[in-house]
Amino acid sequence: MCTRWDETTGSQGQTLHTLHGTITAMGFRTKQVHGGVKPDPTTGAILTPIYQSTTFVQESVENYMGKGYSYSRAGNPTVRALEEKLTALEGGLDATAFSSGMAATVAIFLGLLEAGDHVVIADVVYGGTYRFADQFLTKFGVDVAFVDAASTDDVRAAIRPKTKIVFTETPANPTLKVTDLAAVSRICEAAGVLHVSDNTFLTPYFQRPFELGADIVIHSTTKFLDGHNATIGGAVVVKDAELQEKIAFARIAAGLVMSPMVAWLTLQGIKTLSVRMDSQSASAMTIAEFLQGHHSVDYVNYPGLPDHPQHELSKAQASGFGAIVGFEVHGGVEAGKKLMNAVELWSLAENLGSVESLITHPVTMTHAAVPRDKRIATGITDGLVRLSVGLEDVEDLIHDLDSALSRV
């Protein structure tokens, strides 16, 4: 049977390629393979070509941008294919890809805030998000409030007349605190405030913030979407054309563009997203259950565990619990360091979401920039260990952890 591809026009004038008429009619696994891409019209190549070109020749002054592209800082066909795929997976209107997850976050702030504005940010977020908000937004005259986003009362109380954005991340990095996205979205809608949700940990396979009322979804594509430790990238997905215009302009103005090669590699990684997430999450649950009974572990943070305080909320707003596990090793900072140095199969590294299992000590690595008193107050304790569970045999991963913990 011959596959029939149709074409429609996207909000920026680029061609959106859909299978059998509409992307939205596809199931998720079909979208992750076919959404946003089509066979190359020149050669029939099944993979989107890497358009490694700085500039694009125009037919005439009168027909400038007639083919949709002029300069790769403003847009590139390979990058655009990734943007269309992410739009399809999240169920948004449009998307913009960036050079990193932090570049995506910065573009939101640059595009939507100005001096005198106020922003509410979850008290537990990626360390780079905290650093930029604390050291740069405040310097540029933006008032920042870090609040417990798991408390809807705290979020509601933090909103002021000048508040423009509420920024959440769920599950949060690295404590896996869960935010009630639907409740926060209702608060934001009532106050006329934008709700930005970082969906990096669960991806659209397990969680779709737009369906829970969010206005903007952000990703570090470096993590699960890539899945292979091969790229650094980010993306912002929106459901409003005006927001898209502002965020896309921030990318052009600040030069935060994703490279075509990164986009191409990420496109390939996304094709196996659901298979990887299912396997990695199942292993994460098994590892979390093992750690709960270990004498060297004080407690385990994993929303999939029935005794996790936000287990029911996690079940209600997501279809899976993810592949990140947090636990407190008995003995604090020194015990955490000993564990990091004792593992063999787990790789000591700052990334997450890859097929290789990674182990991180946030206090000395990803969240070292956060002052200790603020870390402790938000649950980023001295002995906290973050695991990113990969695709290895779970029995081997547990054996390595057990052996390393015995030496702490």
- What's the pLDDT at 371? 82
CA 202 to chain centre: 8
Question: Whole-angstrom Cα distance, residue 27 to residue 194?
Answer: 29
- What's the pLDDT at 367? 78
Q: Nearest 5°: CA angle at 100, between 314 and 162? A: 70
Residue 15's pLDDT band (cuts 50, 70, 90): very low
Q: Nearest 5°: CA angle at 170, between 168 and 173? A: 95
pLDDT at 359 over 60: yes
- What's the pLDDT at 332? 87
Residue closest to 175 by CA, chosen among 197, 203, 201, 212: 201
Kindly list the catalytic residues: 73, 126, 198, 223
- Describe the strand order of the beta sheet including 194-198 as a list of residue ranges: 94-98, 234-238, 216-220, 194-198, 163-169, 118-122, 143-147
Cis omega before residue 303 (within 30°)? no
Domains in the chain (CATH in brackets) are 72-270 (3.40.640.10), 273-405 (3.90.1150.10)
Residue with the bigger pLDDT between 49 and 371: it is 49
Cβ pair 228, 356 in contact under 8 A? no
* Mean of all residue pLDDT scores within the chain: 92
Report pLDDT digits (tens) over 172-186.
999 999 999 999 999
